[in-house]
Chain A
Amino acid sequence: MTQMLEAASIVKSFGAIHVLEDVTVSVNKGEVVGLLGPNGAGKTTLVNIIAGYETQDSGTVAIDGRNLDGMTPEARTHAGLARTFQSGRLFPDLTVTENIVLGAIGSGCSTKKANGRAAAAIEMLGLSGVQTESAAGLSHGLSRLVGLARAVTSEPDYLIMDEPAAGLNDHETPALLAALDSIRRESGCGMLLIEHNVGLVAAACSRVFVLASGELLFEGNPQDALVDEGVLSAYLGDATMGLHGGRA
Chain B
Amino acid sequence: MIQTILDALSYGGLYGLAALGIGLVFGVMRLVNFAHGELIAIGAYLFIVTIDLGLPLSILIAVTGTAILALLMEFSVFKRLRLAGPAVLLIASFGVSVFLQRFYEIIFGALPLSGQIAPWMTGVIEFGDTTITRGSIVTIVLALILLGGMWFFIEKTTLGLQIRAASSDFQTARLLGVRSNRVIGAAFVFSGVLAAAVAFVLVTQRGSVDPLFGVNITILALVGTVIGGLGSLQGAALGGFAVGATISLLNSFLGNYRVYTYTWLFILVIIVLLVRPGGLISNKAVKERV
A interface, CB within 8 angstroms of B? 73-74, 77-78, 83, 85, 89, 91-94, 98, 101-103, 105-108, 111, 114, 150, 154
Contact = CB atoms under 8 A, between A and B. Distances in A.
A92 B161 contact: no
Contacts of B172: 85, 89, 91
Contacts, number: 62
Interface residues of B, number: 20
B177 A93 contact: no
Q: Enumerate the 4 nearest inter-chain pairs by beta-carbon distance, A residue then B residue, closest first.
A: A106-B177, A106-B176, A77-B177, A91-B168
B174 A73 contact: yes
Contacts of B283: 93
Contact of B176 (A92, A98, A154): A154
Contacts of A85: 172
Interface of B: 158, 161-162, 164-165, 167-169, 172-178, 180, 232, 283-285
Contact of A105 (B162, B169, B232, B285): B162
22 contacts: A74-B180, A77-B176, A77-B177, A89-B169, A89-B172, A91-B168, A91-B169, A91-B173, A92-B285, A93-B168, A93-B283, A94-B161, A94-B168, A98-B161, A101-B161, A105-B158, A105-B162, A105-B178, A106-B173, A106-B178, A154-B176, A154-B177
A92 B232 CA distance: 12
Nearest to B171: A89
A93 B178 contact: no
Contacts of B232: 93
A103 B161 CA distance: 12
Given A91-B165, A91-B168, A92-B168, A103 B176 contact: yes
With a 10 A CB-CB cut-off, give which of A74, A77, A93 has the most chain B CB atoms.
A93
Nearest to B233: A93
